[in-house]
A and B are shown apart, each in its own frame.
Chain A
């Protein structure tokens, strides 16, 4: 039951969601792809419980959270929202986490605002949402969401680069994107 840890760093990438529930798995799927990039100084984790993010956020310069969202949009559409210390609060309906029956009563938006109240938000917090197409138990990612995974990975990489978390390409570990995962994310 031990889990491989990617080296802890100032910047954090979180894949949020249930790996067994259709498109809710897109957060963890993107996190695993980002982990294969072996980015120096970036910690990549998977989580299902939004409250567990609060302990990860304190003292971070940057955290990127990837999650499935339901906003009646076109499945596979990326929605990017930024907050953090000094950022505007999220409203409860700004980010409706897809996981129901999990911590339904305590979703991502509430975890963000609870962290803000506890002064545990990272300086910058970027939420990347991927519009879900289906959330059935046991189903794989739907085609449009599966097709959005690489775009989401590129969005994560872009944010890390733009914010200085990746000052140069030399920090990209092996320097190329491996064809398959070679390192587990910290779950």
Chain B
């Protein structure tokens, strides 16, 4: 709804912003056709996870932090495992890294399929949501459910549950799946990979507003492969640093309008993490099938249009199935599920690529392995300034839209980031004030 203000301005208030994870609001003020104020207000109460991790044992962060989010629990598990193992001076064997990567593929598949088909596609096809879209495009929605289910099945198999996996521990897993179990799921993943290729063709045919993000992109880049469970940090400005140095480069600060911290990169903001950054910085690391379909639809080796992020997610979906199949094909039974990680005093750093961007963890342990300090920098905290910057840029050209159309377009722009407000603090309202 909208109403006039006594100063001649106008405020539009659009209930709860839908199809994002968590609770928040977006406030926009116009003056003379220019956006004078854009604030992403995250009001879901902070969860104080960093505080209540203090005093807990070094073995507990994977289980505790996984509960921060039901969409990306594996990201929390992998970043926390990496950080604790770093503090304890342990590097897990390659087979454990690969099984972690396989589990993570399951999470990418679940998250990307949900976002592409049920949350983001309705924006492009002109529907209020997936339910309305399903009436006219049942085959699209059915495909989305099938693709997501393949991810659920993979998470079930490797993680023990499709939500909040229970098979992850510091040092590895409680139990490794067998070759026979993995091979049973392979045909499902193979069919899903083919459908994901078709999905890239589908979403590449959507209409996209013109926009080029000038911001610095940041992602992980491992020694081998596309960034998922580990890597060092690289940016489009040519910066490169170890995850152990992330606190020297990435700072968080409180802003009065949000319960989530805002992150800066070397004092600058905004910068962008997530699919666009991963793709732009690591196209060469995608598998041939993922590169081929990206080229076929004309995506290029870089992508800076946030609206085209749906295509990039679809390409990453292809890659996730492809990578899962590659890991399954190379798996051999007889691998120890975990290695010992004895505690020692020190500080450790971990980072992994959650579906929506880099998730950093830092822990300080005492010599008994008790956590004395913890820091979690989630992707949505890092992307909040860029979401605001995108809206500042875009609302200028949208100022003539009516309230309903404007709010829909703003929601669309926010969903480009697949934001997880639950992670950032810890739901979304939209207010627009025009004058």
Taking a contact as CB atoms under 8 Å apart, the answer to whether A51 and B148 are in contact is yes
> Would you call B19 an interface residue if the criterion is a C-beta within 8 Å of the partner chain's C-beta atoms?
yes
A1–B68 CB distance below 8 A: no
| Chain B residues whose C-beta falls within 8 Å of the C-beta of A137 in the assembled complex | 67
B residues near A72, Cβ cutoff 8 Å: none
- Which of B154-162, B212-220, B383-391 participates in binding chain A? B154-162
B161–A48 CB distance below 8 A: yes
Flag whether B350 is at the interface (Cβ < 8 A): no
One of B20, B134, B156, B427 near A1 (C-beta < 8 A): B156
| B175 and A104 form a contact (CB under 8 A) | no
- Kindly list chain B residues whose C-beta atoms are within 8 Å of the C-beta of A103: 70-71, 114
Is A110 close to B, CB under 8 A? Answer: yes
Find residues 44-76 in chain A having any chain B CB closer than 8 Å to their own CB: 48-49, 51-52, 54-55
Chain B residues in 8 Å Cβ range of A20: 67, 164
A48-B164, A49-B163 are contacts. A101–B18 as well, Cβ < 8 Å?
A: no
Q: A51-B118, A110-B131 are in contact. Are A187 and B21 (CB under 8 A)?
A: no
Whether the pair B70, A48 counts as a contact (CB closer than 8 A) is yes
Q: Which residue of A lies closest to B130 (CB)?
A: A114
B223 CB, nearest partner CB in chain A, Å:
30
A1-B118 contact in complex given A18-B163, A55-B149, A101-B22, C-beta closer than 8 Å = no
Contact partners of A54 in chain B: CB under 8 A:
145
Interface status of A122 (Cβ within 8 A of chain B): no
Q: Is A84's beta carbon under 8 Å from chain B?
A: no
**Considering only CB atoms, which chain A residue lies closest to B66 in the complex?**
A20
How far apart are the CA atoms of A48 and B21 in the complex, in Å?
A: 16
Cβ–Cβ contact B114 & A101, under 8 A: no
Nearest chain B residue, comparing its CB with the CB of A187: B161
Interface majority SS on A: helix, strand, loop or mixed? loop
Q: Identify which of B87-95, B135-143, B281-289, B294-302 touches chain A.
A: B135-143
Cβ–Cβ < 8 Å partners of B68 in chain A: 101
Query: Is the CB of A10 closer than 8 A to any CB of chain B?
Result: no
Tell me, yes or no, whether B371 is within 8 Å of chain A by CB: no
Q: Kindly supply a per-residue 1/0 record for chain A positions 95-108, scoring 1 wherever the CB is within 8 Å of any chain B CB and 0 otherwise.
A: 00001111111100
Within 8 Å CB of B70, what residues of A?
Answer: 18, 48, 99, 101-104
A117 at the interface (CB under 8 A from B): yes
Nearest-Cβ distance from residue A150 to partner chain B, whole angstroms: 26
Min CB–CB distance B173 → chain A (angstroms): 10
Q: Is the CB of B164 within 8 A of A104?
A: no
Determine if A51 and B114 form an interchain contact, defined as CB atoms under 8 angstroms apart.
Answer: yes
Q: Is the CB of A118 within 8 A of B164?
A: no
Partner pick for A104 among B21, B67, B118, CB 8 A cutoff: B21
B118 close to A102 (CB less than 8 A) = no
Whether B138 pairs with A118 at a CB distance below 8 angstroms is yes
**A100 nearest CB neighbor, chain B only:** B422
Q: Does B382 contact A (CB under 8 A)?
A: no
List the A side residues contacting B119 at CB < 8 Å: 105-106
**Chain A contact residue count (CB 8 A cutoff):** 29
**Given known contacts A1-B158, A1-B160, A187-B161, is B149 in contact with A101 (CB within 8 Å)?**
no
Question: What is the distance, in angstroms, from B367's C-beta to the closest C-beta of chain A?
Answer: 27
B67 → A minimal CB distance (Å): 5
B228 CB within 8 Å of chain A: no
For B427, give the chain A residue with the smallest CB separation: A104
- B131–A101 CB distance below 8 A: no
Residues of chain B lying within 8 A (CB to CB) of residue A114: 118, 130-131, 134, 141
From the candidates A3, A18, A101, A138, name the one contacting B21 in the complex (CB within 8 A): A101
Measured between beta carbons, the chain A residues less than 8 angstroms from B161 are 48, 187
Task: Select one of A3, A51, A99, A113 contacting B145, CB under 8 A.
Answer: A51
Distance A103 CA – B73 CA, assembled complex (angstroms): 12
Alpha-carbon separation in the docked complex, A51 to B152 (Å): 11
**How far is it, in angstroms, between the C-alpha of A102 and the C-alpha of B158 when the chains are bound?**
19
Interface string of B102-140 (1 = CB under 8 A from A): 000000000000100011000000000111101100100
A118 touches B142 (CB 8 A): yes
Q: Is A2 an interface residue (CB 8 A)?
A: yes
Distance of A70 from chain B, by nearest CB (Å): 14
Cβ of B167 under 8 Å from chain A: yes
Tell me, in angstroms, the Cα distance from A110 to B164 when the chains sit together.
21
- Give A138 to B71 CA distance when docked, in angstroms: 18
A119 contact set on B, CB distance < 8 A? 138
Q: Are A102 and B149 closer than 8 Å at their CB atoms?
A: no
CA distance A117 to B19 in the complex (A): 18
Contact (A118, B163) CB under 8 Å given A20-B67, A51-B118, A104-B22: no
What's the least CB distance linking A62 to chain B, in Å? 22
In the bound complex, residues from chain A placing their C-beta under 8 Å from that of B420 are: 101
In the complex, the answer to whether A105 meets B18 with C-beta atoms within 8 Å is: yes
CA separation between A104 and B118, bound complex, in Å?
Answer: 13
Sample (9) of A-B pairs whose CB atoms are under 8 Å apart: A1-B158, A1-B167, A101-B68, A101-B420, A101-B422, A105-B119, A110-B131, A118-B134, A187-B161
Q: Which 8 A-B pairs have the closest CB atoms?
A: A102-B70, A101-B422, A117-B134, A48-B163, A113-B131, A137-B67, A117-B135, A105-B19
Known pairs A18-B163, A187-B161; list 10 more (Cβ under 8 Å).
A1-B160, A2-B181, A3-B156, A20-B67, A55-B145, A102-B70, A102-B163, A104-B422, A105-B21, A117-B134
